[in-house]
Amino acid sequence: MPTIQVRTDDKTKNASTALFNKLGITMSEAINMFLRQSIMRGGIPFTLTVTETNKANNETTENEILIDAIRHFKSVNGNSDYDIAKTTPFFQAIENLGITNENMRITLQEKAVKVRLNYKGKDYVIDYNFDEPENVFILTRKDNKLFVKDCNLNNISKTLRNF
């Protein structure tokens, strides 16, 4: 495997190392994500940010929930290579639902992400597979029966309302 050397000042290296540690990734993983996404998108691809927990009301940010899910994935699977950028369209769609973090649980899989959430008093699982980036499966239970709907990523809110 080829090696890339990067020169930077101490301040930038220390700050970026600290940031990537908060994100649960190494410097090498961050650079590889950047390179892969740059190629795939034909330009500067994305940003990862960490917003601190709001200590005043003890809220956890979406990024912290995702970071915890990445750490859990890595520890369970012994795999340090998780392409977080593939989750971006899905989490943008979920963000539009306006769901609070205490009503959401994220589970990462090698080629998918599942979110368990409570939306308007009902429990759902939304399954997003990286191989089908435009669609999701939404699952819920009613009267001990499992109901599944396949919907477009942009229609999650409408599908939940009509479930």
Predicted confidence band of residue 126 (pLDDT cuts 50, 70, 90) = very high
Nearest CA to 104 among 92, 89, 90, 114?
114
Q: Is 144 left (phi over 0), alpha (psi -120 to 50) or beta?
A: left
Q: Is the pLDDT of residue 122 over 50?
A: yes
Token reading at 62: 């979406």
pLDDT at position 64 is 67
pLDDT at position 47 is 43
Q: What is the mean pLDDT of residues 134-143?
A: 91
Alpha-carbon span 157 to 113, nearest angstrom: 18
Tell me the whole-structure pTM to 2 decimals. 0.56
pLDDT at position 52 is 46
What's the order of all strands across the beta sheet hosting 112-119?
A: 104-109, 112-119, 122-129, 135-142, 145-152
Token reading at 59: 């809220």
pLDDT digits (tens, 9 = 90+) for 19-78: 888 888 889 988 888 888 778 767 666 544 444 444 455 555 556 666 677 776 666 666
Alpha-carbon span 101 to 118, nearest angstrom: 10
pLDDT at position 120 is 85
The more confidently predicted of residues 22 and 126 is 126
pLDDT at position 152 is 93
Distance of CA 51 to the CA centre of its chain: 14
Note the maximum CA span of the chain: 61
Q: What is the mean pLDDT of residues 69-94?
A: 72
Whose structure tokens read 């009902």? 122
Predicted confidence band of residue 131 (pLDDT cuts 50, 70, 90) = confident
Q: Is 125 helix (H, G, I), strand (E, B) or coil?
A: strand
Token reading at 148: 């599944």
Alpha-carbon span 87 to 83, nearest angstrom: 8
State the alpha helices, DSSP H only, in 42-105. Answer: 62-77, 88-95
The more confidently predicted of residues 150 and 108 is 150
Q: Taking all residues of the chain, what is their mean pLDDT, rounded to a whole number?
A: 79
Predicted confidence band of residue 135 (pLDDT cuts 50, 70, 90) = very high
Q: What is the mean pLDDT of residues 129-140?
A: 91
